[in-house]
Amino acid sequence: MRQFQFSYKGKDALIRELRKLMQWSRTKIYSQMVFQVFSDVIDREEIEKVMDIITWEMPEALVFGCSTNGHILNGDVCTQAIAITCTVFEYPTSRVQLLQYDLTAENESYVTSDVLRILNENPWVTAIELLVTIRGMSMTNFSDQLSEAQRDIAIYGGGAFNGDMNNDTACVFTNIYGYADRGVIFVLMGGEDLHVSTTYITGWKPLGRELEITKVKGSILYEIEGRPAYDTYYRYLNIENDENFFSNTLEFPFIFDHNGIQLLRAPTASLENGALMMTSDMCEGDMARISYGDPETILREVADGVKTLNRFAPEVIKLYSCGARRVFWGADVSRETTPFQLLAPTSGFFTSGEFLRTKGHLNQHNVTLVVGALREGDIPEVKDTPELAEVGMEFSGQVSMVNRLATFIQAATEELEAANRQLGQAAISDGMTRLYNRMEIQRRINERVNQVNDAGAEGKAAGNIGKVSLVMMDVDDFKKVNDTYGHKEGDQVLIQLATMLKRVIDRKAPGCVAGRWGGEEFMVLLPGIDVNKAAEVAEVFRTEFNRIEFELCGHQTMSLGVTEHKVGESADTFTMRVDDALYKAKRSGKNCVVTE
């Protein structure tokens, strides 16, 4: 595999470059020649002219490309408006096919189903390069549906962009299907001798506590923890909702877990109502943190990526870097792209979103550098990793100030969260038995009763979903234990009773919960269980407790009441009835189960 890269400096200069390529190719054997065109200006006439020149000079070649926010040649940012690469596949088994579709929210399912059909009919495909115009469109369903492709197919690529980040006009194009301002290109590649390796680099790290996404619609994030989403940036970073909001938040995208990896999501604007326009979707219930970018952290991750790719021995490397990273780095953006040129010819562009399949899932990334590496044939003898100092990647060994401050904040946040979890657990737990306390078990009873009452008689008739029972128990003659053997022995009776309840619930009634109702009284809530099953569980409680031999007071007994909720009955009436059943058990001689 060979790659040639050059910028476009007019028709005559392009023809000279192409004819040099033709002269070179006459002495070579190759299977496919593929041109990729990058343009950071939306000029349909100029783009079509470039494609026509290439096709006229090399009619067998495939040509594809997209608009960009800038492009990369030989690992560095290209200063020309249009750049071109020519990848030559030299092995006869290597194959490339272009697919292109118009893409809208209305036809995305058709597009993905047709691509999946084609993949099933062409088992030679091992990789897909993806170029797509996003233009505010949610790519979640598109990505999820493409994730159904055969698991061994690598998928990677980027969203077409515009040289002006504030302009969402973009385009994709091929010399087969033409120019489209709303479309998607799939570059199918494969063959037994073609190998592809992919990875991604963020360098952004989580900062501060987790925040719950509470209201979102597509790429509009309305609320975080019940408050306008913008408030998060103002509260924690003092970022104003003004014309500088986008640039001020670039270093601080949200980071969250999705499909087993961490993804970044950056806001592009803050609306008057405090909602945030995001670069792609999030979901209600996602737990996100603000993250931060630190140049040295990013470069260390780049260095690790270069070392990993060196073992793959790539012949061509393609980069899909978020336009936000270009803004973040400014004039120094090539610091994270030039190291890849030490391994192989490196090209790419700055995107409106990055795509990469990881662990079987195609994910849309933001503020991320996606890397696709290609090679034909077996891995040659792996060379030593190039000296990264050649491209200005010396590391002093000192941790940057930003990194140190962020580490301090994160450690303090984790300690505070752990303390809050302990406090939260203490607030709902009984200190001695570690069961729920009276307030918490009562809250859970109220919650379940309200659910059942909301379902009504229809829910009750439908089966166990509308059923809920209570078991209430009381240690018989517990005062005698305390008076005779002391409160320490009495405490042991209660602790071991609680341990027994948890053990039996785990074995016989998973999903049920127990709490200390008060003194030597305990309550068990059994959702989805009728009174007959609850009575059986209560009998197990009684016999298991009776088997325990305490150090001083020997074997003890307890009495239990059981009842099932009636449709429309309040939680107070429900608990009063189970208390009456327990009272009847006491009056019946104790050490028994009475059903109400």
The rounded distance, in Å, linking the Cα atoms of 350 and 165 is: 10
Q: Which of 223, 336, 520, 596 is catalytic?
A: 520
SS (H, E, C) 161-174: CCCCCCCCCCCEEE
- Which residues have a Cβ under 8 Å from the Cβ of 424 and sit 6 or more positions away? none
Catalytic site residue 520?
A: yes
Strand partners, 354: 158, 365
Write the burial class of residue 45 (CB in 10 Å: 0-12 exposed, 13-18 middle, 19+ buried). exposed
SS (H, E, C) 15-50: HHHHHHHHHHHCCCCCCEEEEEEEECCCCHHHHHHH
Q: Assess contact for 184 and 139: CB atoms under 8 A.
A: no
Write the burial class of residue 454 (CB in 10 Å: 0-12 exposed, 13-18 middle, 19+ buried). exposed
The rounded distance, in Å, linking the Cα atoms of 37 and 83 is: 6
Buried b / exposed e over 255-266, threshold 16 CB at 10 Å, is bbebeeebbbbb
E strands within 295-402? 316-322, 346-351, 354-358, 361-365, 369-376
Backbone φ, ψ for residue 34 (5° rounding) = -125, 125
SS (H, E, C) 445-456: HHHHHHHHHHHH
Provide the 10 A C-beta neighbour count for residue 510.
7
Q: Assess contact for 17 and 6: CB atoms under 8 A.
A: yes
Q: What is the CA radius of gyration of the chain?
A: 33
Backbone φ, ψ for residue 42 (5° rounding) = -90, 85
The rounded distance, in Å, linking the Cα atoms of 196 and 372 is: 7
> How far is CA 52 from each of CA 8, 49, 64, 77, 235, rounded to the nearest angstrom?
14, 5, 12, 25, 54
Residues with catalytic function: 520
